Amino acid sequence: MLGRHRRVHATVGKFADASLFGFAFWLTHWLRALPVFDQEVRPFSEYAWLLLVVVPLTPPLLAAQGFYQQGVLGTRRRNLWILTKTAAYISLAAVLVLFYRKTEGARLIFALYVPVTVLCAMAKDVAVSAWNGGKTRQALHRQRVILVGSKEDCDRLVRSLGLGSRHDIEVMDSVDLNTTSPAQLADRIHAHSANAVLVAPRHSLFGQIEATIHLCELEGVEVWLLADFFQTRISHTSIDEIHGRPMLVFRSGPDASWQALAKGVFDVVGGCLLLVAVSPIMAAAALAVRLSSPGPIFFRQQRAGLNGRPFTMFKFRSMVTNAEQLQQELSVLNEMSGPVFKVTNDPRVTRTGRFLRKWSIDELPQLLNVVRGEMSLVGPRPLPVNEVARFDDLAHRRRLSVPPGLTCLWQVSGRNNVKDFKEWVRLDLEYIDNWSLWLDFKILLRTIPAVFTGAGAK
C-alpha cells in the first residue's frame, strides 16, 4: 500500500477508535442504569462532559503503545492487551478528574468501562474483518499493477518490494518496453483492468517511459515512477513511498484522501438506507415486470467498472428478453454519436418498462451494486463492456478512473437529451477533475427533481 493510503487509513482509524471509546462510555452508563443493578443512577447528561476526557485521550494513548505501528497478522492478542490497558488508563483519568472537581460518580461505571470497551473493540474488529474479508471487496480494494521495465528490473522490483507476497498489490503482468509498444501496453492495461503502472526506469528507456506516462494519463491509470524526469500534460505529480522506496506518482484522477474514504462509507450506508426506503417500490416493480411480460424480473449485464474491470450490473428488465439480439437491427436508429446506443421510443421497451424508465425505477436494483462496492451513488454511468471496447479515443477511458455511479453530471444535465458522446465524456471528466464530497451532494440534490419530473428519460 502506498504511504498516502496508509496515512489516510491511520487518520480514519484514530477517529474511529476515539468514537468507539466514547460510545463505550455511554454504553457503560446505560448498562449500569439497568434494573438488574437495582440502584438509581444519575442521567448520562451529568457525565457527558467526561467525553472531553475520554475521546481526545484515546488516539495518543493507543499510539504511545504502538497500536498503529503493528503489522496486519498475528496482532490480535497484543491489540486486546493494548486496548485493555488504554481503557484502564482512561477510566483512571476520568476518576482523577472527578476527584479533582469534587464530583461524585458511580464507581461501578468505571469498573465496567474496561470490559465494555474491550468487548466493543472486539465486536468492531470482527465486523471490520468480516467486511474486509469478503472476496468481492478484497478484489475491489487490491491494486492491480503492471510492471514496466526490463525483465531484470521487474524481477528486482518484485524482490525488493515484496510484491509477490503482498495482499494489497497484485502484479498482473510485466512489460518490457524494448519489445512492447505503448499501443500494446494499452491493450494490456485494458485486458487486466489495471489500477496502476509501476515503472522501473533505465536511462536508455526514458523516451519510451514518457510515452507510457502520457498513455496512462489519458487512461486515468496511475503511474508509479522511481524518479522525476518528465513533464506531464494532465496528471498531478506527488511523492510517495512503498516500503521506504521513494515513488513519484502521476495521477489524473482523485487522490486517496479522507474524502474518498468518507465517500465509500457514505455509499454503503446510503445504499443500505435507500434499499430499505425503496423496498416497497422495488417489490411492486418486480411484480409488475413479472406479470406484464414473459422473462426474468432482473436484467443482468456486464458493465465496465473501475479501470474497466467488468462487473454484473442489475436493473429491472424493461425490454423484451431478446433485446440485445435486436440491437444490431436497430443500429441505424442510434441517436448517440460514438460507441453508445440510444434510441427514442425504443421498440424493444415494454409498456411497463417505459413507465419504469420514465421514473428511473428500473435503476433501483443498482443499489445492490453500490452496497457491494462495485458502484458509487455518484459517478460516471457504467457502460456495457462491449461499448467500452469500441472507444476510438483513449482519453475517453479516463472516465473509468473512478467507480461508476447511479447518477452523474450527464444525468442531471438533461440525462438522455445529451446526444454527443464527446459531450457526455466531457461532463464525466469535468466531474473527475473537480470531484469533492460537496459536488457529490449537489449532484444528488439535482438528481431528485430530474427523477421526479422524468426529465430526458427514454
Write out pLDDT tens, residues 142-152.
788 888 887 87
Q: Quick one: pLDDT at residue 289?
A: 92
Question: Does 13 lie in the same domain as 123?
Answer: yes
Position 63 pLDDT exceeds 50: yes
Mean pLDDT of the chain: 81
Greater pLDDT, 381 or 149: 381
Measuring CA to CA, how many Å separate 251 from each of 196, 219, 237?
10, 10, 6
Do 259 and 437 form a contact (C-beta atoms < 8 A)? yes
**β-strand partners of 175:** 148
Position 57 pLDDT exceeds 80: yes
pLDDT band at 74 (very low <50, low <70, confident <90, very high): very low
Measuring CA to CA, how many Å separate 213 from each of 220, 275, 347, 442?
10, 41, 45, 33
d(CA 372, CA 138): 11
Position 248 pLDDT exceeds 90: no
d(CA 76, CA 447): 44
Write out pLDDT tens, residues 163-203.
765 667 888 888 887 788 888 888 889 888 888 888 876 64
Q: Quick one: pLDDT at residue 73?
A: 39
In a domain, 12, yes or no: yes
pLDDT band at 378 (very low <50, low <70, confident <90, very high): very high
Question: Does 113 lie in the same domain as 48?
Answer: yes
pTM of the predicted model as reported, rounded to 2 decimal places: 0.67
Position 1 pLDDT exceeds 70: no
Question: Does 285 lie in the same domain as 416?
Answer: yes
pLDDT band at 242 (very low <50, low <70, confident <90, very high): confident
Count of the separate structural domains present in the chain: 3
d(CA 434, CA 159): 38
Q: Quick one: pLDDT at residue 68?
A: 76
Final residue of a structural domain among 133, 166, 199: 133
**β-strand partners of 144:** 170
Question: Does 237 lie in the same domain as 194?
Answer: yes
Least confident segment among 83-87, 315-319, 413-417, 450-454: 413-417
Domain of 421? 258-452
Question: Does 218 lie in the same domain as 262?
Answer: no
Position 275 pLDDT exceeds 50: yes
